[in-house]
Amino acid sequence: MKIATFVKNLEGWRGDARLYRVDPPMNGDDGETFEYVIVSDVVAFDTNRPETLIFGCNKDEETDYCDLKGSFRGDIDHNQALRNAGYVIE
């Protein structure tokens, strides 16, 4: 079973952003793996539509801003994004 464990809420992001530890690590399109991800939800400034995005990062929150599998547009829902990526939230 794939598990996403909530670590903390993040400050300084537009919208609601949270750090999760994922096991097994999530893979990016370039083959990089991420043990930590940031799930961020916002209403996009260019389309005025909601979106929930998953970004890979390390434990120090240094972020790769390429959307990972599970990201979606049209709603704001951290749980749904992580479920889309195949993870159960702990």
Ramachandran bin of 37, using left for φ above 0, alpha for ψ from -120 to 50, beta for the remaining angles:
beta
Q: What is the pLDDT of residues 4-20, one digit of tens each?
A: 999 999 999 988 999 99
Backbone angles phi and psi of 52, in degrees to 5: -125, 120
Query: Which pLDDT belongs to residue 90?
Result: 87
Task: Indicate the pLDDT class of residue 30, thresholds 50, 70 and 90.
Answer: confident
Query: Which pLDDT belongs to residue 11?
Result: 93
Q: What is the pLDDT of residues 62-76, one digit of tens each?
A: 999 889 999 999 999
Q: What is the pLDDT of residues 31-46, one digit of tens each?
A: 899 999 999 999 988 8
- Tokens at residue 67, please? 């959307």
User: Where exactly are the structural domains of the chain?
Assistant: 3-89
Greatest Cα pair distance, the chain, in angstroms, is 37
Count other Cβ atoms within 10 Å, centred on residue 9. 10
Going by their DSSP bridges, the two strands 3-10 and 88-89 should be labelled as parallel
